Amino acid sequence: MGWASFLSHVVIGRSPNPRNNLNFMSEATLSAPTSGGSPKISKISEAVIRIAGNSQDGIQAIGGFLARLAGRSEQEVMTFMTIPSTISGGPSIFQVRIGSGEVLSAGDEADVLLAFYQHSYENHINSVKKGGIVLFDSDHVQVKPEWEKDFHHVGIPISSRTVEAIGGTAKDKGKNIFALGLVAKIFDLNVPKLEKLIAERFTGKDESITKTALMAFHAGYSFSLGNVIETFQFVESQKREGAQVVMNGNEALAYGLIAAGVRFGAGYPITPWSDVMELLRRELPKYGGAFIQCEDEIASISMALGGSYAGRVAVTGSSGPGISLKTEALGWAVMAEIPLVICDIQRGGPSTGMPTNVEQSDLNIACFGGHGDCPRVVIAPSNVEDCFYTAIEAVNLARKYSVPVFILSDQSISTRIEAFPEPDFEKVCQDISPDLTPVTTHKPYDLNAPQGVTHHVAPGTRIMDGKYPIATGLEHDEMGHPTGSPKLHTQMTAKRRKKLQSLADELPVPQVYGPPEGNILLVGWGSTQGPIREAVDRARAAGDSVSSLHIKHIFPLPNGLENIFAGFNHVFVVEMNDEGLYGYGQLGALLRARYCDPKIQGVTKCDGLTWKVREILERAKQNIATGIRKL
């Protein structure tokens, strides 16, 4: 990307803005240099913009507008945000990467930093690539001279200009929209589409709010940047078939559950899971369903299980400590063979940990949490779109195998915004209402059932022989009545295991990204798919032999992974968790236990941040240099 070669510090326009006309068609910027010389217009295929401010500044809103615009412009987009865990205020960032081609991660380094405050400037300058642009609010930021040689500084009195533009007392309100105007100018974004997005955002509010917002936007857009900064234009994206939708992972997950036919759930508020329950609470009534806020985590999984037992798979979910609290009830669901979907939006742990940071450290509790031999299903979505379809798959796995299914999402995927093709609603939406047709006889735990797979009939179903089942947490006979028989405990434990072994036989073997043989195989799961694939692309472009494998079905694992591993000299399991006592992350340890393959090694970190592409490659190289671990 050809960024501006000016490395000077420029503060523009403390004087009244000379360009105050209201005709802001985007085409104008193509040919309308503002003063004297002609600013360069560079064609770019992607850009990473990081917006840094405080959480109340509405910087998420700017990011949201940009992401949504990209979705409407057939571009790919991915965002990354941090929010403070404090109640109000605190530093916050929103990074958005927009590309005409495939966008796999939110980007290691920003091309443009938009800094509202001194702390935003100082804390995020390191995330800007050398030669990149630092747009800052000159009302709040003092430039550090030592940084001027590396970054193209552009100061704009954002705060005072916003007040000037929209008038009155709204001191901090609207400057995000002003800044959006600036960004729109620099990247020659489609103004009519942005205006429409702004208008839609404020629909239903006082008309004057939309008007004010548009005023702020145009003030930013028309603000003269002089000829000191080049502007950019995205190359045309490939035409896509059908429309794109833009949302974050938690939204995709919640809507996926609705599409899957889930109409009942229960939860307790906890970050970052709360969005899912809020959305379901709001949306389910029009589908005739309900999501209940419970007194605690245990009550919420219990209520969801009650709903599932009553005939329709229900959902519960949580993050961090909430998942720990649910494990006893989870064990009941395994024992009683009642289907359930449990969403775990992972955050930093243990205990209260880091509520607003990302970590993939719940794999162990999802796969193994709880007492006793307690097999359940664990699957992890790899991007926002996948959240939607994973929710449907989870519901159907739960129904098919009468088992609780964990969806392991995480803080980063839950808040990041991506664009993806609109689903085929008529095809994906399913009706899973209970069937209460009378049956002649029913054995809820039939030991002769093929692969051990049995299903409960819902209460309300008449059973003609008059023998009714009990769903139970005690070890039981085939009718659900308690037993202490050594033989039955052995058989029933095997039944609960066998059905998941039969699931493993049905699972698709994941595809290797890149050639199926080579030097290094990077193995990942969950939200890291994008950065890992980008690492593969980057390494291969540099001539290194690197491929990757993304595991969606974590428990049980699909069959045949050993054949994939056999094609590589090194297998590095890339995870956002600690290397553990024995030197492997949580999936790494599971894969080593499963395949006894000493070339499986861990590439882990737990700094609460997503993987940078560069980090993955550096750590992989370092692993090879160090050789096989002493352990």
Partner 1 sequence: MSNQTTDIPARSGNITAVPAVTPPVEERKGLTKKEIAADHPTWCPGCGDFSVLALYFKLIEKRKLWHEKITTIAGIGCSSRFPYFVQGHGAHYIHGRALPFASGVSLTRPDLHVFVFGGDGDAFSIGGNHVNHTARKNIKMTYVIMDNWVYGLTKKQTSPTSPLGFKSKTDIWGAVDQPINPMKQLISAGATFVARTTHTNPNHLLQMMEAAMDHDGFSVIECLSECVEFYEGAFDSSNPRKGGVFNPVPADHDVTDEHAAYKLADTPFPGYFGIFYKVNRPTKNKLEADINAKAMEKVKGKKDWELLKATFARMK
Exposed/middle/buried for 293, CB within 10 Å: 0-12, 13-18, 19+? middle
- Binding partner 1 by CB under 8 A: which of 467, 489, 621, 629? 467
Distance, first Cα to last Cα, the chain: 44
- Binding partner 1 by CB under 8 A: which of 212, 244, 357, 527? 244
Contact between 307 and partner 1 (CB under 8 A)? yes
Contact between 509 and partner 1 (CB under 8 A)? no
The footprint of partner 1 on this chain (CB under 8 A) covers a number of residues equal to: 107
Quick check: 529 and 575 in contact, CB under 8 A?
A: no
**Which residues, in sequence order, are CB contacts of 475 under 8 Å at separation 6+?**
335, 482, 483, 484, 488, 489, 492
Exposed/middle/buried for 450, CB within 10 Å: 0-12, 13-18, 19+? exposed
Query: Which span sits near partner 1 by CB under 8 A: 12-20, 97-105, 324-332, 354-362?
Result: 324-332
Quote the CA–CA distance of 101 and 214 in Å, as a whole number.
30
Contact between 488 and partner 1 (CB under 8 A)? no
CA torsion 605-608-612-616 (nearest 10°) is: 10
Contact between 487 and partner 1 (CB under 8 A)? no
Residue 10 β-bridge partners: 154
Contact between 468 and partner 1 (CB under 8 A)? yes
Quote the CA–CA distance of 574 and 216 in Å, as a whole number.
44
- Binding partner 1 by CB under 8 A: which of 305, 403, 539, 613? 305
Contact between 486 and partner 1 (CB under 8 A)? no
Which residues between 413 and 452 bind partner 1 (CB under 8 A)? 420-423, 425-426, 428-432, 435-444, 446, 449-450
Using the minimum distance from each CB to partner 1, give the nearer residue, 329 or 520. 329
Contact between 288 and partner 1 (CB under 8 A)? yes
- Binding partner 1 by CB under 8 A: which of 57, 111, 230, 386? 386
Contact between 199 and partner 1 (CB under 8 A)? no
Quote the CA–CA distance of 297 and 277 in Å, as a whole number.
13
Q: Hey, is 42 helix, strand or coil? A: strand
Residue 547 β-bridge partners: 521
Contact between 99 and partner 1 (CB under 8 A)? no
Contact between 89 and partner 1 (CB under 8 A)? no
Distance of closest approach, residue 502 Cβ to partner 1, in angstroms: 12
Structure tokens at 544: 């290194």
Quote the CA–CA distance of 311 and 458 in Å, as a whole number.
5
Contact between 405 and partner 1 (CB under 8 A)? no
Contact between 527 and partner 1 (CB under 8 A)? no
Which residues between 542 and 581 bind partner 1 (CB under 8 A)? 552
Q: Hey, is 344 helix, strand or coil? A: strand
Helix (H) or strand (E) holding 426: helix 425-428
Contact between 383 and partner 1 (CB under 8 A)? yes
Contact between 505 and partner 1 (CB under 8 A)? no
Distance of closest approach, residue 489 Cβ to partner 1, in angstroms: 16
Which residues between 123 and 182 bind partner 1 (CB under 8 A)? none
CA angle 610, 549, 526 (to 5 degrees): 40
Contact between 114 and partner 1 (CB under 8 A)? no
Using the minimum distance from each CB to partner 1, give the nearer residue, 91 or 307. 307
Using the minimum distance from each CB to partner 1, give the nearer residue, 123 or 451. 451
Distance of closest approach, residue 415 Cβ to partner 1, in angstroms: 15
Contact between 327 and partner 1 (CB under 8 A)? no
Structure tokens at 141: 């930021």
